[in-house]
Amino acid sequence: MMWTNYHAHCNYCDGYGKMEEFVLQAIKDKMPVIGFSSHAPVPFDCFWTMKMEKLPEYIAEIELLKKKYSGEIQIHTSLELDYLFALEGFNKEVLDQVDLDYKIGSVHFVELFQNGKIWGIDDVFENGFQNIFKGDIKKLVKRFYQLTREMIIKEEFDIIGHFDKIKMHNINKAFFDESEDWYIDEVKSVLKLVAEKEVIVEINTKSYEKNGLLFPGVELFPLLKEYDIPLTVNSDAHYPDKQMASYSIVAKELLKVGYTQLKEFKDGKWRDIEFNEEGLLWKS
């Protein structure tokens, strides 16, 4: 049995490990397919995104590895692109320079400070939460999902990354109860659009080992099935040995709600591949 991963960050952005280290580990783990998806450049200072001047080198190295390991593994070229609500058009500048196999779209940045500096939920949380949103968690959450909906409508991404990432600071219901109607309504508004646009939602396992979080969480799996959302499982790996982290746990929970297939990028096309708790039923 085997798994894949389409969401990985190497040393071109905030990941740890060279591309070839990811490839060699994936081959060791008998993964048939992996994709590199470094954080795309942004037009402001951000320590965890790739610099624009590194983009050609990033693409060239992936192409080199594709050829070098062509008989052992399929390697795909991607970027994780942020929805830049205040800078519409910048992503096009990036995409015009590259030929990607698929694109991951994510929301990290949610609003501007009074001085015009952009704030993201991965930054110092209390800073933006208090100074921009005045401690109003509903306002912040609704803003996050508003931007997610805008991204789905305006951008043409293949995969929506960690679409409920806004809950990352809500461990042990620190700010709100994720089962409340107002929150579920926000989630449903996103899933409705996802279904209409036929984009793929990833189940992101990056935070599961550390704090038990999946994005989206297990509690939303029944809703994903209700809306017939196409899924893929991604590790958002920042280390070569984390490319299949917690996959079997996710598979078990997805099977419980009726999922039997995942979307997999095989031979240049997204395909439905059956799976069980042990892995994908991948046929060469």
CATH of the domain at 245: 3.20.20.140
CA–centroid distance for 80 within its chain:
7
Over range 239-265, report the average pLDDT: 98
Residue 127 domain flag: no
284 has pLDDT over 90: no
Q: Is the pLDDT of residue 88 over 90?
A: no
Q: For residue 241, which of 6, 8, 2 has the smallest C-alpha distance?
A: 8
Is residue 188 assigned to a domain? no
Among 233, 223, 284, 282, smallest CA distance to 262 is for 233
Answer yes or no: is 191 within a domain: no
Neighbours of 10 (CB within 10 A): 26
DSSP at 237: B
Burial of 167 (0-12, 13-18, 19+ CB in 10 A): buried
Does residue 270 form part of some domain? yes
Q: Does any domain span residue 46?
A: yes
Structural domain of 93: 19-105+157-168+200-280
User: Taking residues 239-259, what's their average pLDDT?
Assistant: 98
Classify burial at 217, counting beta carbons within 10 Å of its beta carbon; exposed 0-12, middle 13-18, buried 19 or more: middle
Residues 49, 267 contacting (CB under 8 angstroms): no
Q: Is residue 184 part of a domain?
A: no
Q: Give per-residue pLDDT as tens, 189-229.
A: 999 999 999 999 999 999 999 999 999 999 999 999 999 99
User: What is the biggest distance separating any 2 CA atoms in the chain, rounded to whole angstroms?
Assistant: 55
Overall domain count for the chain: 1
User: Residue 283's pLDDT band (boundaries 50, 70, 90)?
Assistant: confident
Phi, psi of 46 (to 5 degrees): -155, 120
In a domain, 110, yes or no: no
Residue 259 clears pLDDT 90, i.e. is over it: yes
**178 is a domain residue:** no
